[in-house]
Amino acid sequence: MERLWAPWRMHYIGSIPDADGCFLCHIQKSDKDAENLVIARRPHCFVVLNRYPYNNGHTLVCPNDHAASLDQISEPALADLMRTTGRLMNIQKKLMRPDGFNVGLNFGRVAGAGLPDHLHMHIVPRWSGDTNFMPVLADVKVIPQALEELHEKLVAAWKEQNYVE
C-alpha cells in the first residue's frame, strides 16, 4: 500500500466540531470566515473554498438557506447564486488563469452529493494537463497550493472587484 504523508492536515482534523447538522449551515452562521475559508458573503449566499478539493481552487457557492433543491430557494436567492458563481469565475480567471471550469450542482447521493440536504454550486478550475500520471497510475491527486494562501488571494481579489455589498 502506498502512503501519502500530509501531517499538516491534523490541524483541520482536530478542529472538526462534534456538532450534528449541516456543515454549510454551521459555516453560514459562524463569524470565523478565515478559519472556515469563506471568501465572500452575499445577501442570499456565501462562497467558501472546498476543504477536500478535486482541484486547486475548487470552490462552493452556497445559498444561506438550508435547501435540498432549486425549487426550495427564493428567486432572489437563485439569482444571487448564479450572479455570485459568475463573479467568482471571473476572479478565478484573472487570478488563477485556468483554461476552463467544471461548474455544477449534484442532487442526491447517487449523483455525487456528499451533502444532499443543502444544495451548493461547485466551481472547479481546470488547466490543460492538470490530469497527469499521478491520478492515472497512483490514484493520487496533487493540489499545488495551500488552502489558506489561496483563500487570502481570493478574498483580496473579491474585495478589489468591489463585489462587497
List the catalytic residues. Answer: 120
DSSP letter for each residue of 86-118? HHHHHHHHHHH--SEEEEE---SGGGT-SSTTS
Task: Mention every residue, 6+ apart, whose C-beta is less than 8 A from residue 92.
Answer: 57, 59, 98, 101, 123, 125, 154
DSSP letter for each residue of 37-95? TEEEE-SSEEEEE-SS-SSTT-EEEEESS--SSGGGS-HHHHHHHHHHHHHHHHHHHHH
Helix (H) or strand (E) holding 121: strand 121-126
* 84 C-beta neighbours (distance < 10 Å), count: 26
